[in-house]
Amino acid sequence: AELAASAVDRVEAMDGFHARWVPATGMAIIGPGLIGLVALLLDWRSGLILILAGLFVPFAMAVAGIGAGIAAKKQFLAMTRLQVRFMDRIRGISTIVLAGRSEDEARALAGAARELRERTMRVLRVAFLSSTALDLAAAAALILIVVRFAPALHGAHELAPTALFLVLLVPEFFAPLRAFSAVYGDRMAVEAVAEELSALPDAPAPVPPVDIRSVAAQGVTLAFEHVTYGWDPARPVVEDLSFKVGRGEMLLLTGASGTGKSTIIDLILGFLAPQGGRITINGAVLEDLVPAARTRMLGWIGQKPVIFAGTIEENIRFANPAASEDELKDAIRNAHLEELVAALPQGVRTPLGEGGFGVSGGQAQRIAIARAFLKDAPLLLLDEPTSHLDPAVERDILESLKHLAAGRTVVLATHSTQALDLAKTIGAKRVDLDALRYASWRGAQA
């Protein structure tokens, strides 16, 4: 969340710098410079007064800007803390309510909001100092020019037009400086976020593409070679794991929660990178494959499929927008969605709400299966696809998955009894992560 705030809010802060600050800076130099030159030609003393008053303005802004910059940095820090805390608490709202901590968290959020408000007001107070300095400089210049011509006008009325012209030049002289002062806060904001933007991680080095045009035609062989990964290096979730699964084969990942089933799926998807060993597809290291082609060869169905706001057809076609009507119908039939579609007045064009509102968990899973059929990826990853379904629905979903798995390389992470029975009937390989962890522990104790 903090990285997202830096990438979005801080970039938006740069808009004021380029759209307002840069043009205003040029006008603040050119405008007063030309007007000051005209004043010098008419009356060098009045021109000198305007120039000195004009030089005082950026000096005063710089002094005020030091305080404004410090205040702005603290303001952005408070805003980031509030954003991160708010998003974190929204994600965990059910846990907060069930733990009886809603009032405590509400007070904490109110405190963070109050801190942000106070720091914002400090930025404004400091910023007003530059406006005050500008008003003082303009008033002083006007008074001094009037005082300069007051004695002369008593005996030399021919100077009246010159004096009046110079007096009228004063507001025009300070107008660009006033615009410059109005956008001075944009520069302070950019200085405040520059350090955070520079601290963003560097873009990853470009990966040399590997020719994988023959992968889909020949099927997919997935291999783990002594792969290790852990959130804490001292306690790896996956340690020295090796296996190989070829086309038409299924690999069953079993084990209790926390043994690394989902971590292995994330490693295959490329969301995580191995800390040791390597993952290969048809002998090519996974990280070296062209990302777009790697995506095309992967199909994934998780515990809770993502259903977007849109029609059933749009959700199924999400995997392959260019699919024909016949391919769409085949995917619906293979996913056993025909009965649901036929019962709906608008059929496949029935709109669904955000998050799959309008369909049950089993129906949402069938939509995900139809999406996988339509994509027709040679490597299929199933991460606890029936974990939240009742036994009857789970049995039907597993039958659809059995049809989907035919001829594909499949990795199924599950602890469902029905899924284990299904895997046995098709001769699936099995990796028991509980047993591997126990063997690793025994080896460490020996």
pLDDT tens-digit series, residues 58-116 = 777 777 666 666 666 777 777 777 777 787 778 777 667 766 777 888 888 888 888 88
First to last CA, the chain: 43
User: What's the average model confidence in pLDDT over 38-49?
Assistant: 87
Rounded-to-integer distance, Cα 414 and Cα 385, Å: 8
The per-residue pLDDT for range 369-415, each reduced to its tens digit, is 888 888 888 888 888 887 777 788 888 888 888 888 888 888 888 87
Rounded-to-integer distance, Cα 252 and Cα 428, Å: 6
Best CA proximity match to 364, nearest among 374, 354, 372, 356: 356
Rounded-to-integer distance, Cα 176 and Cα 140, Å: 17
- Residue 117 contacts residue 74 (beta carbons within 8 Å): no
Rounded-to-integer distance, Cα 208 and Cα 308, Å: 34
Collapse the DSSP code of 187 into the 3-class scheme (helix H, G, I; strand E, B; otherwise coil) and give the result. Answer: helix
Task: Band the pLDDT of 194: cuts 50, 70, 90.
Answer: low
Residue 444 pLDDT: 47
CA 39 to chain centre: 54
Task: Band the pLDDT of 224: cuts 50, 70, 90.
Answer: very high
Rounded-to-integer distance, Cα 1 and Cα 84, Å: 6
- Identify the residue with better confidence: 131 or 325: 325
Give all strands of the β-sheet with 222-229 in edge-to-edge order: 238-245, 222-229, 276-281, 284-285
Per the DSSP assignment, residues forming a β-bridge with 245 are 222
Is 218 a residue whose pLDDT tops 60? no
User: What's the average model confidence in pLDDT over 12-19?
Assistant: 70
Domains of the chain plus CATH, in order, are 1-199 (1.20.1560.10), 222-444 (3.40.50.300)
User: What's the average model confidence in pLDDT over 13-35?
Assistant: 80
pTM greater than 0.85:
no
Residues 162, 167, 172, 177, CA torsion sign: positive
Token pair for 72: 């702005």
**% residues pLDDT > 70 (the chain):** 80
Compute the mean pLDDT over every residue in the chain, rounded to the nearest whole number.
78
Task: Band the pLDDT of 187: cuts 50, 70, 90.
Answer: low
**% residues pLDDT > 90 (the chain):** 2
Collapse the DSSP code of 402 into the 3-class scheme (helix H, G, I; strand E, B; otherwise coil) and give the result. Answer: helix
Task: Band the pLDDT of 149: cuts 50, 70, 90.
Answer: confident
Task: Band the pLDDT of 292: cuts 50, 70, 90.
Answer: confident
Residue 225 pLDDT: 92
User: Residue 201 gets which letter from DSSP?
Assistant: P
- Residue 329 contacts residue 369 (beta carbons within 8 Å): no
Is 217 a residue whose pLDDT tops 50? no
Rounded-to-integer distance, Cα 251 and Cα 428, Å: 6
Rounded-to-integer distance, Cα 354 and Cα 162, Å: 72
Rounded-to-integer distance, Cα 170 and Cα 149, Å: 14
- Identify the residue with better confidence: 159 or 133: 133
- Residue 380 contacts residue 248 (beta carbons within 8 Å): no
> Please, which residues have CB within 8 angstroms of residue 12's CB and are 6 or more apart in sequence?
none
User: Residue 21 gets which letter from DSSP?
Assistant: I
Element (H, E) at 282: none
C-alpha pair distances (Å), 5 with each of 89, 193, 290: 16, 11, 30
Residue 11 pLDDT: 65
Rounded-to-integer distance, Cα 380 and Cα 372, Å: 8
